[in-house]
Amino acid sequence: MEKTIHQGRNVKRFREMLGIKQEGLALELGDDWNQRKISLLEQKDVIEEELLEQVAKVLKVPVEAIKNFDEEAAINIVSNTFNNHDQSSGMTFNPIYNINPVEKWLDALEENKKLYERLLESEKEKIDILQKLLEKK
C-alpha cells in the first residue's frame, strides 16, 4: 500500500513551523489571496505545480520538501535515532551535567568581590584627584 503525501497539510506544517499565520502567507502570495483561500489550499491533497512553487518560494523551502515530507517517517527517524540505545548505531544521547550550585554561587561571590574592589579603587583615585585639585586652589 503506497502512502500518498498530503501537500496541503505539508504546506500547513511548514507554515506553522516557520511561525507564519494564514493571513501572512496570503499577504505574501498577492492581492487575490486571503485567509480563507489559504485554508482551502491547505486542505488539498495535491497542489498545482506553479502554485506549489510560489508557496515554497514564500516559505523559503524547497518544493521537494513540500512534495515529499512525510510526518510519520520523520517521527520514526527521530524516534529511532533518540530511543535506540544500541551502540552499533553510533548515536547515543546520555547527557551528563556536572553543575555544582554551591561552586557557581561561590564563583559569583568572588566575581562580585573583584568588582567591588575595582570600584573602590576607582573611587579612591577620584578622591585623590579631587584632593589635589583642592590643594592647588
pLDDT confidence bin for 104, thresholds 50/70/90? confident
Report domain 7-87's class: mainly alpha
HEC string of 78-136? HHHHHHCCCHHHCCCCCCCCCCCHHHHHHHHHHHHHHHHHHHHHHHHHHHHHHHHHHHH
Any idea how long the chain is?
137
Q: How far apart are alpha carbons 54 and 58 in whole angstroms? A: 6
**pLDDT value at position 70?**
76
Q: Residue 59 — very low, low, confident or very high, per pLDDT cuts 50/70/90?
A: very high
Q: Which residue has the higher pLDDT, 2 or 25?
A: 25
Domain boundaries, the chain: 7-87, 100-137
